[in-house]
Amino acid sequence: MSKLAGIVELLRPINSFMVGFAVVVGAAIASRGDMLSVVDIGDLLIGFFVGFTISASSMILNDISDVEIDKINAPWRPLPSGRVSKLEALTLFLVLSVVGLFLSYLNGLDTFVVAFSTLIVAILYNLWGKKKGLIGNMMVAYSVAIPLLYGSLLVDNPSKAIPFFWMMIFFSTTAREIAKDIVDIEGDKIRGVRSIAILYGERKAARVALIFYLLAVVISPIPVLLGYVKAVFYIPLVLFVDIGFLYEGIILLRNPSKEQAYVHKKRVLLYMLIGLVAFYISPL
């Protein structure tokens, strides 16, 4: 039972469920709110399990790469505690990766390419990118945004707003990851992470985060200008989110402390959720 519980813990079932569900949300957004009429339910279920398995395999690889650190910081976790061996974890990573890629191929060649590239990014992040500061931040942002793109590929003639939604998620998530590095600066120093906050200081990190929020804000009017969204639904919600991003970014720049960055990342997550609501209800 202890081994089974350890394996389940390695999978991070809640996180992996959320990634799978994000694929479904991507399909719903791309189908302009009429998902069940334009997407085969079988394809949708397959897409969910692709998100779940690829996410779970990435979580396992993360634990494998962090096992020595976890022996000190989190000795109760499955690998450092010995409940699951490294070989068992590696085997589970490979099985889930193969299953996820196989399922993605059932959805189509384009979805297979997306799933394969996402797995490669996850591997590179865990083995190399997590200590590379901004590059690692952008790898995480890619992984957060990619379910939207995957879900859209399940839809024939998806909303033309999808690429712009994807970029807004990517840039705002990159900004949030940079801000989170301010919170993690003490532990990251021990791990040898070359974050912007460590290399150049907290204020410079806050400044770069604000730049990425600005990029997301600059992109946000484009779907309206191109006529890809219903302005009456899109503008009020996205304007609120844009103002929130800029406000939080400026506040963090004025006070780039660990405490403020901690509050910042929680508030920004709320704005992101509101943005997703706007993406869902507004495509034409």
pLDDT value, residue 284? 81
Phi and psi of 229, rounded to 5°? -135, 160
pLDDT tens, position by position, 128-148: 998 999 999 999 999 999 999
Question: Are residues 270 and 195 both part of a single domain?
Answer: yes
Phi and psi of 283, rounded to 5°? -60, 140
Range of the domain at 241: 159-284
pLDDT value, residue 252? 97
Number of domains in the chain: 2
pLDDT value, residue 1? 52
Q: Last residue of some domain: 127, 157, 187?
A: 157
CB half-sphere exposure, 274, CA atoms < 13 A = 18
pLDDT value, residue 166? 96
pLDDT value, residue 125? 95
Max Cα distance, the chain (Å): 57
Give the CA-trace dihedral at 42, 46, 47, 52, to 10 degrees.
Answer: 140
Predicted structure pTM score: 0.91
Question: Are residues 21 and 143 both part of a single domain?
Answer: yes
- Mean pLDDT within 6-25: 92
- Mean pLDDT within 87-105: 97
The answer, yes or no, to whether residue 150 has pLDDT greater than 80, is: yes
Question: Are residues 91 and 178 both part of a single domain?
Answer: no
Check which CATH number belongs to the domain holding 226 and give it. Answer: 1.20.120.1780
The answer, yes or no, to whether residue 238 has pLDDT greater than 60, is: yes
Q: For residue 166, what are the contacts with CB-CB under 8 A and spacing of at least 6?
A: 145, 148, 149
The model's confidence at residue 188, banded by pLDDT at 50, 70 and 90, is confident
Tokens of 254: 């004025």
Judged by DSSP in three states, 90 sits in: helix
Question: Are residues 34 and 113 both part of a single domain?
Answer: yes
